[in-house]
Amino acid sequence: FQFIGIEHVVKTLRSVSVDLNNDASLLIDIPDALCERDKVKFTVHTKTTLSSFQKPEFSVPRQHEDFIWLHDTLVETEDYAGLIIPPAPPKPDFESPREKMHKLGEGEATMTKEEYTKMKQELEAEYLAVFKKTVQVHEVFLQRLSSHPVLSKDRNFQIFLEYDQDLSVRRKNAKEMFGGFFKNMVKSADEVLIAGVKEVDDFFEQEKTFLLDYFSKIKEATAKAEKMTRSHKNIADDYIRLSATLNSLSAEESTNYYIIKFCLKLFQNFLRVCLKKVEGRVASDEELKLTELLRYYMRDIQAAKDLLYRRARALADYENSNKALDKARLKGKDVSQAEEHQKRCLQKFDTLSESGKKELTNFKARRVVAFRKNLVEMAELEVKHAKNNMTLLQGCIELLSGN
Amino acid sequence: MSKKTTENEGKSGTAKAAGPTFSKPTEPADIFTEEAAATTVPRTSNTVNSKANGVHSEEDLFTEATVELSLDSPRSSRKNEETSKPSASSSSSSLSAPARQAKPPPAALEELEDEEEAELEDKFDVLVSVKDPEKVGDGMNAYMAYKVSTETTLPMFRNKLFTVRRRFSDFLGLYEKLSEKHGPNGLIVPPPPEKSILGMTKVKVGKEDSSSADFVERRRGALERYLQRVVNHPLLLQDPDVREFLEKDELPRAVSTQTLSGAGFLKMINKATDAVSKMTIKMNESDAWFEEKLQEVESADQHFRKLHALVESLVVHRKELSLNTANFAKSAAMLGSAEDNTALSRALSQLAEVEDKIEQLHQDQAAYDTFSFAELIADYIRLLGAVRGSFDHRIKAWQRWQDAQAMLQKKRETEAKLLWANKPDKLQQAKDEIVEWEARVTQFERDFERVSATVRKEVLRFEVRCETLKIFKYQPAQYVFSIFVYFSPQLIKYWEAFLPEAKAIA
């Protein structure tokens, strides 16, 4: 399957984050993408007024693995421990349409040519939808970075945007250096550690409770929303097959029942025009707005939790350094060393807490705005589709009763 | 035989040439007049014969449907399909009361549609209903008893309105008797719904969930449509077994139906088809009409089975959607309660409520899909099976005739041998047997011709009958209409109510 040049289609799908591309000093977008076999090649386009870049406008090709590399290096950077690192975009997943395509190929013999063509068209549309989604989510990742006061200045980020050669060499080196150490650490038992911390700061106490609870709820809601949109898609598929069968039935040479043929033709038209279009569109709009929203913020909250985790570790380190200092004082050995260590730990913890507070407050605001935008758009789309449906149905009824 | 063939071919030839206009040839009228001669059900009453009027009565159907479509339970939407029939007919008959006195002109197709409506107004009508399923007994011996009510103006019945209680095996028993008696004559005996061990077991065991309620409702509807088809057939209506079924207080328990399980029934139909397809090759078909018809029927059967599977899949998916929407609503409510921004929290709870209401819509639509769509397609598939059965009986009649001819030939050979062997006493016996078999051959040939004519008549009746039309004409319209009138507007209402809440988030 090859889709060449999704030109500006992606621009219409900025559903998840509210317009991040506001700051004219650094504007990033993905205007183009190519899908070869299952590898997606994104064209990352940058327009900037910053002097730190070599040119004011440029584009580079990037793969999904490059995005992951960028994300991981940011996570591993100690200086950013007090920041919410935007969640990494998920790997492009063409599994579902690919499987369906395979099944379609196997069943080709049992279908009429028209049925097969229709199903194929629908599958291509599904491929396209997956494609659009993955482009969007990669774009948003970059835009989150570019709109962050600290992260936008990251050296690796600049390399990612500018370096016109293959990044794969760098990627390999990075893996060898860090080995995903910190990342793996964070992944396991973060909740236990976060929950176990004796919190002195009210703000963080509240945040902790809120985030842990919210995370489990949004995870649940995401899963249920996904199931719901999948059901919608199934129904849309059923309507496609139904209309194709009715079509071949009404085209049957041997069907001698003229009236039946006529009615079937009408009914099939009705199905094809009204329900398929509308149901199919409802499924994908709902998915974009609701499911993607939930999915994205689920990952974002995980990123926020990671921040809490790092802070909790810093606090644990500080407490340990206190104990070490006491022990050193008792023994009368290496006291100054221990004092230094303790001071550093405290400093780290304070820095983390300060930036963490800012980040989490911003995060809250960002989340509310995004939810509002998406819920409003979703409701408006639902109304639009239902009204559309009514208009189409009216036409069908006139047709059916006028014969 | 050949004479009849050309006649019939002529008729069906015209039918083919008719095209998608509404002036059908005389043939249907002939069928009815023929039937009128045979039975006491003259179809003289005829409402309209112009296209304009036909459209008009259709609109009335829709108007009635608007009124009848009470927006809640699947029950009511199911009833609509039923009640809309008589109410539409009352309106169409009021439209055309003066026209009724006129002698029926060559039948236009709407005539026949309206005629079905008019049939109900006809003073020779019989209207049956199957209602109020009630569980009798407990455990594995339990069964469902249905109230079978008949409303009629026919003098052959004791009363105008009467009700009896019947159980499923009674219906099967009736079918068995009718198919035994009339099947071999080439009649298309309407088939009842299949037995379902799984479905009934759930009911017996007392599982009070929606799936067993669904099952009972589907069966009730199927039984009702089955019975109505039986009484609509002028020949079957005359059968004393039918009258007994409708009128008699207590029926002897039909035992032999135990073999008529769902799978067994289908196997029976399938075996018949195999037999037919095998025999059609052997049978020297002098009348291409039958061969073509059978092919049509078989191809239609294939398509409709596919259609049925797809609609059932749609029903399943819609039920899944309903369940998933309900689950999502719950999770959205939970998320709303965890949300610390007040306005967003309220919006999320509202979202949960909207999704909950939508879930109910999905449920209703699933029910509608089931009862107005899937069930009627299933009916149609069963009817197609019955049509194939009638073809099978014709083949059997042919076979009997051929076998008799072969036997006659053998007897003649025996006679010749005996003549040569000079055995005078055995010879007389042989001569007697020849006379006997000659009579049989003549009889079976006449039987075959009679059965062929009946099959042909029955098939044409089947084709033209409104039940065929009803499925394919009114059902799509009603389906579309229900979405137009009910589901879509509700969706709009719910989302428009939610919009201000979403906008209020700050």
Q: Tell if the CB–CB gap between B506 and A231 is shorter than 8 Å.
A: no
Burial code (b: 16+ CB inside 10 Å, e: under 16) for B228-247 equals bbbbbbbbbbebebbbebbe
Residue B497 in contact with partner chain A when CB distance is under 8 A: no
Query: pLDDT tens digits, chain A, 403 residues: what are they?
Result: 333 333 333 433 444 455 566 677 899 999 888 877 768 899 999 999 988 899 999 999 999 999 999 999 999 898 898 999 999 999 988 887 888 888 888 877 777 777 788 778 878 877 888 888 888 899 999 999 998 989 999 999 999 999 988 877 777 766 665 555 555 555 555 666 666 667 778 888 888 889 989 999 999 999 999 898 888 888 877 877 777 777 777 666 555 554 566 566 666 666 665 565 566 666 667 666 788 889 999 999 999 999 988 888 888 889 889 989 999 999 888 888 889 999 999 999 999 999 999 999 999 998 999 899 889 988 888 888 888 878 877 777 776 666 5
Contacts of A368 in chain B (CB under 8 A): 341, 343-344, 505-506
Radius of gyration of chain B measured on its C-alpha atoms: 28
Q: Tell if the CB–CB gap between A252 and B20 is shorter than 8 Å.
A: no
The residues near B188 (Cβ < 8 Å, ≥ 6 apart) are B383, B386, B387, B389, B390, B458, B459, B461, B462
Pairing of strands A39-48, A26-36: antiparallel
Which of B 289-308 lie inside 8 A of A, CB atoms? 292, 295-296, 299-300, 303-304, 306-307
| Token pair of B87 as six digits | 């109410």
Q: Write out pLDDT tens, residues B195-218.
A: 877 777 777 776 667 777 888 888
Please state, rounded to an integer, the average pLDDT across all residues of chain B.
70
- What pLDDT sits at residue B272? 54
Of all helices (H) and strands (E), which one includes residue A63?
strand A57-63
Query: What angle, 0 to 180 degrees and rounded to 10, lies between the N-to-C axes of helices B488-503 and A335-402?
Result: 150
- What pLDDT sits at residue A246? 75
**Of the ranges A265-269, A373-377, B128-132, B219-223, which one carries the lowest mean pLDDT score?**
A265-269
- What pLDDT sits at residue B208? 66
pTM comes to 0.72
Residue A215 in contact with partner chain B when CB distance is under 8 A: no
Query: What angle, 0 to 180 degrees and rounded to 10, lies between the N-to-C axes of helices B74-95 and B475-482?
Result: 120
Q: Tell if the CB–CB gap between A401 and B62 is shorter than 8 Å.
A: yes
Q: Which one-letter amino acid corresponds to residue B53?
A: N
Residue B351 in contact with partner chain A when CB distance is under 8 A: yes
Residue B491 in contact with partner chain A when CB distance is under 8 A: yes
- What pLDDT sits at residue A129? 80
- What pLDDT sits at residue B406? 92
Report the complex ipTM: 0.83
Q: Tell if the CB–CB gap between A401 and B477 is shorter than 8 Å.
A: yes
Residue B342 in contact with partner chain A when CB distance is under 8 A: no
Q: Which one-letter amino acid corresponds to residue A261?
A: K
Closest chain B C-alpha to A369 CA, distance in angstroms: 7
Q: Tell if the CB–CB gap between A217 and B334 is shorter than 8 Å.
A: yes
Residue A241 in contact with partner chain B when CB distance is under 8 A: yes
Q: Binning pLDDT at 50, 70 and 90, where does residue B140 land?
A: confident
Q: Provide the 8-state DSSP code for A20.
A: -
Which of B 65-124 lie inside 8 A of A, CB atoms? 109
- What pLDDT sits at residue B332? 94
- Rounded CA-CA distance B69/B483 in Å is 11
Query: What angle, 0 to 180 degrees and rounded to 10, lies between the N-to-C axes of helices A335-402 and B475-482?
Result: 140
- What pLDDT sits at residue B475? 63
Neighbours of A337 (CB within 10 A): 12
Q: Tell if the CB–CB gap between B495 and A383 is shorter than 8 Å.
A: yes
pLDDT at B77 > cutoff 50:
no
Q: Tell if the CB–CB gap between B505 and A245 is shorter than 8 Å.
A: no
Contacts of A234 in chain B (CB under 8 A): 317, 320-321
What SS3 string covers B276-320? HHHHHHHCCCCCHHHHHHHHHHHHHHHHHHHHHHHHHHHHHHHHH
B100 in Cβ contact with B47 (< 8 Å): yes
- What pLDDT sits at residue A117? 80
Residue among A218, A224, A291 with most chain B CBs within 10 A, to mutate: A224
- What pLDDT sits at residue A388? 80
Q: Write out pLDDT tens, residues B347-357.
A: 999 999 998 88
| Mean pLDDT computed over B481-504 | 84
Q: Binning pLDDT at 50, 70 and 90, where does residue B417 land?
A: confident
Q: What percent of chain B has pLDDT over 70?
A: 64
Residue B505 in contact with partner chain A when CB distance is under 8 A: yes
The residues near A197 (Cβ < 8 Å, ≥ 6 apart) are A208, A312, A315, A316
Closest chain A C-alpha to B371 CA, distance in angstroms: 17
Q: Tell if the CB–CB gap between B321 and A228 is shorter than 8 Å.
A: yes
